[in-house]
Structure 1
């Protein structure tokens, strides 16, 4: 199953008797005031991550996520398509969260609200769904893409490739040992607001040594930006990709070893 769907695919599916459930992860004022996709429910980004001081940006917990999807009127067997208006980076975090908590069919809209609104109709006001009783079924650890700090250390010992999805100045200030940089925005086409063509994506990944035969560990600061990269790599068929949710924030708090300094040609 491809985790990324086109706008035309979604527009066609919305005309069927069994349309996907659409989740808009923008803030409520954007959703209601600017407009949203037809039938979309609003699940703001800050509601599906832990905002506590001890775990900024981490998963909200399966019970909290279940309550959130229940409020949104979502069933466990629904096809979900998530979107935002920031090239999909916030919606990708929703997708990864749903996958970790056992939702099998969740997709990311290629592009975002702005891209959709150029070609397809939108609505305003809030959709009030009928509540469900959503029961998450979190993936067992051996099936989950999540990896903890000890797992990252073990992956380093095995020769895994660490991929930093942050900006260049962040990378130069501190990065995990041996990491290469892939700014998550590099894969997005500025004009279409969706992904660049597959051939172009494969080429830019190969330039950095990010190839499907490698064990890959993704990190950023608080797991938002790696969500988009994780979904893109899944879309391209990469199978051995780990998601370091604690990212550099946790690594530094634990006094993990880092590298600093100017990026080389592969990481600029």
Structure 2
């Protein structure tokens, strides 16, 4: 089974890992995991029309990662200060744009979880600019509006990862509302034990043998849920990047919670 979430202990012995901090500039400058390179979250989000949702263009993403010294064959482990929800977005973006998914990992926890047993630094590592050329996947998990609409009439579980208020206002017919925070232990800031995760997901109708289709508005919340599902062995997962507004423009059906 694919190991996506790796412990801080594993990261500390990272002879084969490229550690990536996705927090804001001032957070990274204050303290970070020793040797971590910086790829800030706001730099790999793009709400323009060139790509679906908030995905950056391949050229922009390749320039960003190459500028941080990251190469296409690197084994990446990302972390943030928000329990992994921002770092997971980097991994999903990299996967869509061609990075080998078997070489993409998320630190289980965040910088606060790291600080409990490990030291941080403000020293910026020396890096050389690398050539990172993106080759977007044609067979990946990114789906379009037509594919999402098809899922509404299938045995797939359509999952809305937005906040409950957003969900109650409007959502896709039959979609279940799953909050990414329920998958994380608030005290440790790390992923809940496997049996707890399976119980939460099953309560929402999610099982490894059923297709799952995710949607959100900003992308980061569905990215975390997507990453957890991969960790648990789910294979048939797709995610829609457009959000509710793009879905409405497509003319897709919606409903509200009364």
Aligned length: 255
1:99 Cα deviation after fit: 0.9
Alignment counterpart, residue 199 of structure 1, candidates 195, 202, 221: 195
The residue correspondences of 1:71-220 to structure 2 (distance < 5 A) are 71-104=67-100, 105-140=103-138, 143-220=139-216
* Residues 102-143 of structure 1: per-residue CA shift (max 9 Å, x gap): 211110110001110111111114334110111222212xx2
1:85 Cα deviation after fit: 0.4
TM-score (structure 1 length as normaliser): 0.91
TM-score (structure 2 length as normaliser): 0.94
1:31 Cα deviation after fit: 0.4
| Alpha-carbon separation, structure 2, partners of 1:121 and 1:137 | 37
1:145 Cα deviation after fit: 0.3
Aligned to 1:265: none
Question: Which blocks of at least 5 consecutive residues in structure 2 are unaligned?
Answer: none
Give the ranges of 4+ consecutive aligned residues of structure 1 lying more than 4 Å apart after TM superposition.
53-57
Please say if residues 56 and 222 of structure 1, whose CA atoms lie closer than 8 Å, have aligned partners that are also in contact: no
* C-alpha spacing 1:240/1:56, structure 2 compared with 1 (3 Å): closer
Aligned to 1:21: 18
| Alpha-carbon separation, structure 1, partners of 2:86 and 2:246 | 20
| Alpha-carbon separation, structure 2, partners of 1:56 and 1:157 | 23
Aligned to 1:31: 28
1:19 Cα deviation after fit: 3.4
C-alpha RMSD of the superposition: 1.6
Please say if residues 53 and 243 of structure 2, whose CA atoms lie closer than 8 Å, have aligned partners that are also in contact: no
| Alpha-carbon separation, structure 2, partners of 1:146 and 1:86 | 24
Please say if residues 50 and 56 of structure 1, whose CA atoms lie closer than 8 Å, have aligned partners that are also in contact: no
1:57 Cα deviation after fit: 5.1
| Alpha-carbon separation, structure 2, partners of 1:56 and 1:138 | 12
